[in-house]
Structures are given as structure tokens and as C-alpha cells.
A and B are shown apart, each in its own frame.
Chain A
Amino acid sequence: VKAVIRGIIARGLVSIALLYLLNLPLFFFNPLDYPSLFALGAASYHVAFLGVYSLWGWVLLFVSFLFAAVVHPSVGVFVGFVGGFVAAAALGVGWWRLFSLLLYVFLYVVLTNLLVFVSVFMPYAVDREYVPDPLHLPLYFVYYATLHLAYGAVVRPRPLWAGKLVF
């Protein structure tokens, strides 16, 4: 049990590290001046979780940024946001793909609603709605740790560093 908990905490930490790293460009450059960065922001919330298990998560990030840069920033944002739910299917195999997708949507809805509700009462360090606030790190940790816990228990995807790429 301890090993499992340690594994969940580790994956949770990896996810929030990814989340803040992926959003670094948005901290340094105002996305209003460089609108393609919005795609990174929208996709980052999904990729911080999916990217731990599947290269499709990273493909999503790349594709949404590419669309933002080449086609239109809005398209990138849309692909980053909506595509994340679809990409969750990559975590399962066979019929578990659909289950994985539905589970991801379900957890996303329940957890984000609860956590954003909590975040209303929390202070902000950066007054920008486009980036994850550093002071809200515990919230994101709870969010991602819960996702990892649920997926570890039900879908059992192998993380990328486990050697076998889940494609």
C-alpha cells in the first residue's frame, strides 16, 4: 500500500511539475501579445496528466500549438481543450478506450468543479486568469493525484517511464 501511495504522490508531483513547466511561456510572455500560446495553456491541463502515460498527450500539445501557429490561435485553443478529452481514450485498450474517455470526463467535471469552488476562497499570486496560479498548487496536486489514483485502480495505464510506450 505504501508503495502505491508513494507511486501516486510521485505521479501527482510529476503532473503538477509538467503543468507549471508547460505554462512557463505564458508566465514570461503575455499570451494576449502572442495568442498562439493560449493553445499551450488550454492543452497543458490535459497533457500534465495524459502526458505521463501516453505520447498521444504530447501529440495533442504539439498539434494544438501547430494549429494555433499555422491556422488560427482559436483553433489551437479549441483543439487543446476539446482534444484532451478524446486523447484520454489512448490510456485504455480495446473497450477500455471508451471507458477511459468517459472516466476522464467524469473525473474532470467532478474534481474541477469541487476544486475551483475551493479556489474561490484562496488568494492569488498572479492576477491572470490564463495561467495556473502558484498559490493554487495544492489544488492541482489533489486533482492530479486523484486522477492518477483512479486510473491506477481501474484503467491501469503504464507510465511512459515504465519502458513500454502506450500507443
Chain B
Amino acid sequence: MLLKIGVTVLLLAVVLAAAGQGADVSFEEVCLPAKALGLAGRDVGSVAVLAWHRGEPRHLPWRVAAVEMDVIPLVNVTDVDRYAFRSHALPPRLEDNTLVCISLPDRPERPPARAKRGGEVYEIGGRYVVISNRDPLDPPPAPVVAPRPSAVEVRKVGRVDAVEEAPLQAQQLTGVRTISGGFKSKYLTNATLAPNGFASSLPIDLPNGTRYLYIYLTNVTQPGRYRVVAVVADAQTADTYFNLAVDVVMDGRSPYYFVMSIPVVNWGYSRQLKLTVGVRNLNSAYRSVDVVVVGVFDASRHVDNRWAAGMKAVSQYGFRYASTVRSGVYAAMPIHIPPGGVHGTEEVRVKVGAVICSPSAPSSFTADVYIRPFWIGSVTFYYDYSSGGCAYYRTVDVTFRPSLLPLPYALLGTTDLAIGPLPQGTSLKVYELYVAGMRRPEFNRPASLVFSSVKWYDVTYVMDGVLRIETRPDLPGLSLNGIHVRLTLSPIVTPSGVVPMRSGKHTIGMCCPGGPSVYFVVKGREKTLSDELLAIVRYINAALSALGFVVDRYAQDPKIRSAYRVVTFAGRVAESALRSAKTRVSADSQKVVIDVGWEERTNVVLARIYCPMTTRVSYYIFSVGAFHVDGYAEASYLDAYSTFSAYHADSSVDPYSTWHCLYQQQPYSESCDPRYYR
């Protein structure tokens, strides 16, 4: 215990000391055309930018000039253009004049002739930078809005030859996979720092098998200069393996800012390591900072479950969308990428059609698919047939397998799936458009008690709104008592406004064997005139249904009884009209129905459902049958599942969840409990 406290104090002291002294690395950003670095024509996702520091190759923060795009939400409303907004993404390819901005360290070493990472060596303003091929675990660039070119001399001065080394992938043969997730410390989440002020996380335990850590500042951080310090130390011996202080400048023009990567894989195996991150405000004014630590870990194959986000039709009808009058827009739907994703299992499925009702409809057109800001691939819409003056197009059904991770965690898990540019007057018909993959519910060891309180199932259905379903098991011992389900139905929010959902029934087909109990809240609900008038109308109806006693006496069938709650024509219409102003949630053993009220079309509905098991089971596969919204011809089905299994929990190992806390809102509580933050 004393050692633990000692290590904590020591770590904090080291971080504080490092933040107080000068930075080890101070970055200065230069922006150059891609041509000057030999990058013209390269895929943005295939490049890594490195510099040598203390004899090791290090990832440099780099950004690419963003392309502007007009985005519309993928919703079926007639005035969809009203919700159009301007946004940005990384270009699919670097053109000759695309500006590439590299943060140059102040004192980079000259790279050796041979090293474990190869590449072309450039001297930019007297400092050495290596342009290399991107390894799947290298951080991708960030988009930057309107960068300005720098007047700096660039020349190619040689190359570093890559040394063949024993591949780390050997571990994968024994069932080890790489997964990733993110972590936020409560001390560095939207923390306000005084001028020259300092804040630090408590030491964060690193799971065994940590490969890389990446430290990002999110765009919640206000523009300015900051010193970011990271220290990795051994919890048992107090040896420090990594200690780096980096000065960075934030300009508020990117969605996230890569600061540094920590190659824990070089010394991390079989050691109990702790990470501490600190930030010093180098500005002369108060500033808010927001840090996210992204990690990539080796983990055994343990309760891998399938997550998904998007929409999927199974019949020929698909989901038809209103046409846009603008040309060149991108249609986008919000998606959520949960933590714990198993690398290499992600897939983006695209199966869409398009209808253009115009005499000048093209014979074919190509659209790009983005998980913004990242380009995923292209699809070609080819002419299928014409009918009633409209040209119908189809795409070949494509499945892209992007190497997404660890990017989404820097975006806090939430981004959108966009398709475009679309010609003027295009209405999309979507059969399948989703992202899916495998994920592990928790990074801790399989015996950790934490598995019983983390989210196992995660699926996001996008229709007229966004329905997110998360579940966690009720696992007090060696049998599964039940399942906690958390449903969140929210409208689609764009910078141009909130798109109201359809009012009416939103039905989720979900097997709940033991009869569910439901608790729900509608966020931002207010008492309105409808409530007052409903009370009066109910009173009048009760007075008018004078013959109700006949029914009470003779009608035993519950269906008849419910029909008799109101027994007058106009009264029934008036009461149901007023009642339907408010959102209601009901559930039975087959389905959950969220009946969105016409007054609450822009409110978020949060429902918590507990499904008890009818018998004692140790194993249960949970999935959602379908999501249907009244007024849509088709239900949405996404192949997502989780396999709940009871296990021997050992309360002495890994008793708290760390690397999921940010993204994990436990079904029990409304949000991640900050007591478990570090």
C-alpha cells in the first residue's frame, strides 16, 4: 500500500517537475504543398510522418488541408435542404498543391541509415523529417481548415532503409487481437486552467498488453499554447520508462489535435505500468483544456460481440429519402463507434440506389463514402432503368474494410457516415448503409468483476432519429438474472437545426422472456396546455361514459376493456389526440414501443428496461430483431449481438473500469460514474 501511494506521489511529482521545466520538444508547424514532399497522388491514409528523437522514430502531428463539403442529414423530410450545413473532411488523395502541415520538433536528430521504420528523409528548414508508409497503428492526420503555406526550404536528403525484424503479429497466431479504446481523466476533461496553471490526471493503470498510447487534445480545448506531459512508470519498481514534455499550439481549426504517441509495446509486457498525463497552460489568460488518451491493446479473444451502426433493409423496398435540390451535397447519418473495437473486423457496407427525375440525368456518377473526416472508398451509381421520367441508379453492393482505428476515439466515438457528392435532384434509396465490427466489452482480464457492469451490446439504428441500444448483464454470481437495456432515441441534430422525428410508434423487436419493467424519461419535457386540457377532457369523458358500468360488468376481455377507456366518438378522438402529444414508452415480452408525441418530436427519450430471465441461465445471446418506425415501408435490421455468459469473477483483479469510462454510459446510470474516473 505504501509503495502504491509512493509511486502515485512520485509519478505526480515527475509530471509536475517535467511540466515546470522546459519542454523536451517544442513544435512549430509548417505547411507545404504535397508535391514538395513527394506525396502527390498518395492516399491520405497511407502516409506516416516521423522524426527521430532520443534514437527512436516518433510520430509527428500532421494535418492536411480539409476539403469543404455541403452536408445534408439522411432523413426523409421534404425540406431537407433547410438542414444543410458546411463541413469538412480529409481529401481522399493528396493533390499536387494540397497543403500538408507538419509540426516540426525543434531539435530532431538526423535519422540513421537503417532503422526499424524506413522512409524518405526530408530536410525542412534545417530539420529532418521522415515520410514513411503508414503502419495500421500510426495516427492518421487531422483535417485543418484553410492553412497558409509557409516559406521554408525543403529538400530530400536521403532515405532510411527499414530493417526486417521479427513481426509482432506472431502473437495473433495464438488468438491475441488488437483492440482499442479511449480514456478521459476527470481532471483533464474540459478543465479550466489559470495562466501558467497546471492540471494532471491521477496515475492510470495500463492494461497488460498495451501497445500504443496516443494523446490528443480535442477541439473543446481553446486555441493557445500548451505543454503536455506524459509519464509512464512501473508501479512496482517506480522505474520511469517514458517522460516527455511537448509544447503544442492549438489553432481551433481541426476537430482533434494529435500531441504524442507512446510506444508502450517497446517495454510494456508483463509489467504493471501507470500513465500520468498533465497539461500546463502557457497562455496569459484562462483556458479550457480537454484531453483524450487513446490506447491500442493486445487482448485475448474474449466475449467478442458484434456492434453495428446505421441502417439495413432486407426487402426490395429500402428506405427512400427526399431529394435534395442542391447539387454536390453529401448525405450523412450520425453513427457511434463504441470502444473496444477489434482491429481489422470493421466493415462499412454500402448498398444504395438513387433516383433522379430530370431530363438531364447523368448516365452514371461516382460518390465517395466517408466516415468523416476519413475517406473510406468510392461507389459508382450506374443507370438501371427509367420510369415516369425518372432515372433509377444502383450501386454494386460493396463492403469496405477500412483500418479505422484508433481514429474514432479522438472524435469521442461520434461521427457520421456520409455519401456524396450527389447530383442535383437526387433522392437516395438506401438498402444497407452501416458500419459494423466486433468489440470486446472491457479491456480488463476476463475474471475482472468489471465485466458484470459494462456494456456488452451496442447498436445504433438510424431512421428518422437515432436509436442507440446498450445492454449490460445482471450477473450477481454464476447465473444470469436478467439484462439491463438502455434505449436512447434522439433526433438528428445538425449545425443548422434539429430535425424533428416522426411522431408515432417506434417499435423495437426485442425478446424479453420474463416480462420487462420499464422506466423512461423524456429530456426537456415541460408541462404544456395539452396536459391541462387532457385532464379536463378525461373528466368530461368519464362523465359522458355513463354506460361504462355495462362494459365493466360484462366485458372481461382486456382488449374490450381498453377500448372502453373512452366510450364516446368525439371524446375518444379528442382524448387520444391530446394523449398523443406526449411521448410514451411501453414494453412487453416481444417488443418495446416508443410512441413519440407530436409535441416532443425534438426531445431525447431515454428508456431503461430490465428483462428478467425466467429460468436460471448461464448463457444468453441477445440481439434486437428489428426497428420499425410507423410510416416507413420497411423495418431496419442490423446484425448485432452479444453473448452474455456467467463467469467466475475475481474481485481482487482490476476492480474498476478505466478504458471504457468515457464512451461507456452504463445502462444502470445516466452517465459514466465519475467516481470511477481517474
Of the residues B528, B567, B599, B630, contact of A116 by C-beta under 8 Å: B567
Q: Is the CB of B570 within 8 A of A113?
A: no
- Bound Cα distance A38, B576 (Å): 9
B573 x A32 contact (CB < 8 A)? no
Indicate if the CB atoms of A130 and B576 lie closer than 8 Å: yes
Please judge, given known A-B contacts A72-B529, A117-B551, whether A42 and B503 are in contact too, CB under 8 Å: no
Report A102-142 residues with CB < 8 Å from chain B CB.
105, 108-110, 112-114, 116-117, 119-120, 129-130, 132
A77 contacts across to B, CB distance below 8 A:
533, 537, 573-574, 577-578
Complex interface: stretch among B106-114, B540-548, B655-663: B540-548
**A35 and B581 contact, Cβ closer than 8 Å, known pairs A42-B570, A77-B574, A81-B573:** yes
Given known contacts A33-B503, A74-B528, A74-B578, is B572 in contact with A129 (CB within 8 Å)? yes
Q: What separation, in Å, do the CA atoms of A80 and B571 have in the docked complex?
A: 10
Question: Across the two chains, which residue of chain B brings its CB closest to A132?
Answer: B569
CB distance from A70 to the nearest CB of B (A): 13
CB interface residues, A 21-69, toward B, < 8 Å:
30-33, 35, 38, 41-46
Q: Are A116 and B569 in contact (CB under 8 A)?
A: yes
Answer yes or no: B564 CB below 8 A from chain A CBs: yes
Interface residues on B, range: 35 or more
Within 8 A of A (CB), among B547-602: 547-548, 550-551, 555, 560, 563-564, 567-574, 576-578, 580-581, 598-599
A138 to chain B, nearest CB (A): 14
A23: nearest chain-B partner, CB-CB: B573
- Contact at A35–B598, with CB atoms within 8 Å? yes
Name which residue of chain B comes closest to A74, CB basis.
B530
B536 contacts A by Cβ under 8 Å: yes
- Chain A: interface residue total (CB-CB under 8 A): 37
B568 touches A112 (CB 8 A): yes
Of the candidates B528, B540, B555, B580, the one whose C-beta lies within 8 Å of that of A32 is B580
Given contacts A81-B537, A130-B573, contact A117 B547 (CB under 8 A): yes
B631 within 8 A of A: yes
Interchain CB contact under 8 A, B546 and A109: yes
Contacts of A32 in B (CB 8 A): 502-504, 580, 598
Chain B residues with Cβ below 8 Å from A105 are: 544
Q: What separation, in Å, do the CA atoms of A101 and B571 have in the docked complex?
A: 17
The answer on a CB contact under 8 Å between A78 and B574 is yes
**Closest B residue to A82 using CB positions:** B540
Asked if A157 lies at the interface with its beta carbon under 8 angstroms from chain B, I say: no
Min CB–CB distance B61 → chain A (angstroms): 48
- Pairwise interchain contact B574-A113, C-beta atoms closer than 8 A: no
A120 to B537, Cβ gap below 8 A? no
Q: Does A75 contact B (CB under 8 A)?
A: yes
Interface code A126-167, partner B: CB below 8 Å = 1, 0 otherwise? 000110100000000001000000000000000000000000
Given contacts A73-B598, A108-B544, contact A31 B568 (CB under 8 A): no
Q: Which chain B residues in 376-430 approach chain A with CB under 8 Å?
A: none
Q: Are B547 and A130 in contact, CB atoms less than 8 angstroms apart?
A: no
Q: Which residues of B contact A35 (CB under 8 A)?
A: 577, 581, 598-599
A84 within 8 A of B: yes
In order of increasing CB-CB distance, the 4 nearest A-B pairs are: A113-B547, A38-B577, A81-B574, A45-B570
Identify 7 new A-B residue pairs, CB closer than 8 A, beyond the known A77-B577, A117-B567.
A31-B577, A32-B504, A32-B580, A32-B598, A112-B567, A117-B550, A130-B573
> Can you show 5 pairs from A to B with CB atoms below 8 A apart?
A31-B577, A31-B598, A41-B573, A42-B573, A74-B529
